[in-house]
Structure 1
Amino acid sequence: MDFNLTSLVRTLATRNDLALQVQYLMIKAPPGRAEHPRQHRDISSEDLDLFNNMFEMNFKPTNGDSISISQDSSQQPWEKGQVRPQDEGHCEQDKGLFYQHPKSALAALLLAQVPNILRFSMDSESLLPFSICQPGSLPRLAEFHVSLPSNEDSLADIQNVLAAAPALERLNARLGYMTSNKVFHGNLTTLSLHSCDFTADAFKSLLNGSKRLECLSYENPQRSKIQQATLPELLDAILLRADTLRSLILWFNTRDGHQSIDVSMVENLKDMRTLEKLDITLDGVYHPAHLRLDNILPRSIRTFSNIYPAFCSPYQEKTRAVIALAKSVPGKFPNLKQVLFCLCEDEASDEKEVKHNRSKIRAAFAKRGIVCLLE
């Protein structure tokens, strides 16, 4: 990784014609391997001068100090990724901008050279490439994929990328935490959040500021490091985009002591005005006898998936709820075209009865011209 990335940064720094043609950039860590200092080479004298000049031209630390890369392996080795202010009086935290993250230092330099990039993907063990992005420096970037370190508020640092990319439409983030209420992008149309954690205010701010959002995918983490937003708070925030969202994928982990889901919590989804696709995973529902799928869907729905419908309820009740949905078409849902369910059988369920009920479900939807997939 180190040698090739160093070579790429060097090449693009000296060949501006090539740098301007780069449209897709992916920087990934080797699968299953953490970065180790001994895997990296010390930087050469020639590269040292070149990269220090690049830092001076492209980056301005908030404290106003210049930034340099040390070549001395015994003091500030490049193999440890040390980039430090010239002033030796600064504390270790101040001069450790790229400490132990050589790939991040190179990635920051690389981003500064490719203003015409359209797609950028990075597995990041450091937020530094993003924290020093300059506003408007990535004017054509439309798609950004990032796996973040598990630092608290790590998602907040990608706001610099959002500010650098006014044309950004698609953001895919994994493994981040956010408490800041200042992260949003008015041009986003697609937002995918995997194992990301938010406070209620942070999530509300993100959706409220994403005025054009059409597709949202959210998977909440199993364990939270912050005061995690509750399910009602998340759904209230989602309703802020009731007039723009067309696709909504929600995965809620309610096991291991996490909040269980009462179906009344998701009934407000019926107020979504433009929603066409809903994929929602419920693996712990209270009051299963009250489960009515036709009470949680908006009239605009075209595709509905529920991988664990009423997981804790008896099989017969799940069957009745699904058939009730079929009978509500086309009256309540004139546009519904496809449904997907995973009907988990009870241990006491009779095999013949299960097959019979599945046939009844398929027939109920087929009668109304709806594709029904059962797993």
Structure 2
Amino acid sequence: MHLPPLDVAVYPVVTMSHGRHGSRSMRRSSAVSSSSSSSTGSNHTATGSPDFSSIQGVIRSVFRSSRITVQQVERLYGRLHQVYLARLTDGSALVLKCSPTYNTRLLRHEKNGIETERTTLETLREYTQIPVSQVIKYDSQGGVLRSPFLLTSYIPGRRLSELSAHLSASERKNIDRTLGTYMRSLTALSATQFGMTHRVFAKKGSSSWRDAFLSLLESVLRDAEDMVVTVPYDSIRYYVQQHSQLLDEVTEPRLVALHACDPHNVLIDEQTKQVTGLVGFSNVIWGDPLMGGGVADGSDAFFEGYGECPSRSAAVKARQLMYATYRATVQLVSHHYRPHLDIDEMEARRSLTYALNELAKI
């Protein structure tokens, strides 16, 4: 499949600041639903989730074969989207990622997550050696499921969030070093515009990182206002605007996957303790690599893999604090939109307060 017209180039990694204001490990994977799940003949259950027969229907439709039989369907961890692992009778496996259930409230930046993941996976497979899934099928209309879905190859492995407590210091360093190498490859990709992936690929991105970032921040603040979430709106807007000219130092749009190094998005071989793949590319933008996953709270081993230790200039620190402000605000708003997520609201508020106080000192 050819990507939409977009100038993508590979460049050396840029210098960034080393900070420690990132989000932490989230939840473990969800429960399993077997092939004995009830089938009503419809595409969705009462809660909006695809049933077993509709998942098998999608796979048979994609491969145009009625002989393909799904043996088991397992519900995987999905922070927002519905994710299923379909094991076939021939021993192969596929991953089906569907739109959130109909009663899930989305933030503005989340509404094109499946399209973003599709374009990101295709880009990474074409231009990097990062182990990610192969896109088998993307359907923006939903087809059999009547909603957008993405069908990809399956990457074996257990989530880092499940294994982290059982890793030795040496094993964890090797994993961090590998992640640093992958993030160097990812952020070396450059486009011609800044902003959210679906807009950049449609040639509707921004010409400056300042405009793109301020738009992202304002978007989540409006989400907060819609739900009457208590956050210091005036302080956030004031201090970020006060330092926003420093965003103009970012002149090359780089690929930034905000959650690429989150423990629940890193897959590990249980025997060798090596990274087998990365998942979770629904929140990806073209912007400042300093904002990317793993960079904000990377270990020494991470930056060994990344290739250089970032500078600590005041200007770069200010950018880092603006991104910490954005991440904390997104966490707070997400918590109010979807309280069932295990987001630590108090920690997010502490992170937001710290970032704003530090911005006030610069």
Structure 2 length as normaliser, TM-score?
Answer: 0.30
When Rg is computed on C-alpha atoms for both structures, the one with the higher figure is: 1
Structure 1 length as normaliser, TM-score?
Answer: 0.29
Relative contact order higher in (CA < 8 Å, ≥ 6 apart): 2
Comparing both structures, which one devotes a greater share of its residues to helix? 2
